[in-house]
Amino acid sequence: MGKPYRIIIADDESLIRLDLREMLTHLGYDVIAEAGDGRSALELARKLQPDLMIMDIKMPDLDGIAAAEELTREQIAPVVLLTAYSDQALVERAKEAGVVGYVVKPFREAELMPVIELSLARFEEFRSLERELGDLKEALEARKQIERAKGVLMEVYGLKESEAFHRIRKTSMDARKSMRDVAEAILLTHEMDMRSAAGGEDA
């Protein structure tokens, strides 16, 4: 299995941090530091270079989304946000910041591992996109396309998110095309299918 993933957790509530530390340790992860605000979390991340950050959205000094934006720009670690909110505006802002996963409070231990594993895979995908495209902004745009394509596959084929991601990645490797190209092809095909189902006015 190799070394356990190294995680920093940040939440302004010490009880949440305690619960999270216990659950993550039980799951086999290594919690290397804790922070009570976004600024401290950012400084710890720069110093310790963790594999993953788990942060609350609402924190003093610097919120989780603003911290995530810095961490994405500096390519330090993927960010999973803890949230008690299903606020769409916050979720959109988080996507723009490059956040790779969410856990809704109150969370259970069983929910953590799938989110963490998927987030690590997404971050690796993001890094390879940036290497491929040579540009952070381009990579963020490409990832939005991939997220939309995953949504289409989940809706059309009833796949789980991880299965949809795996299918795009496998198609990309098999066809020797970038994941963005595969995602755009999925979106285009879906759009054409929707038009055709609506009566083919644009045919």
* pLDDT tens sequence across 109-167: 998 998 898 888 878 877 777 777 676 677 777 888 888 899 899 999 998 877 888 89
The SS3 of residue 52 is strand
Exposure pattern of 179-196 as b/e (b: 16+ CB <10 Å)? Answer: bbebbbebbeebeeeeee
Note the pTM of the prediction, 2 decimals: 0.69
Residue with tokens 């919690």: 31
CATH architecture of 1-112: 3-Layer(aba) Sandwich (3.40)
CATH topology (fold) of 135-203: Arc Repressor Mutant, subunit A (1.10.10)
Is-contact 10 41, C-beta < 8 A?
Answer: yes
From CA 64, how far away is CA 59, in angstroms rounded? 7
Domain boundaries, the chain: 1-112, 135-203
Q: Which residues pair with 116 in a beta bridge?
A: none
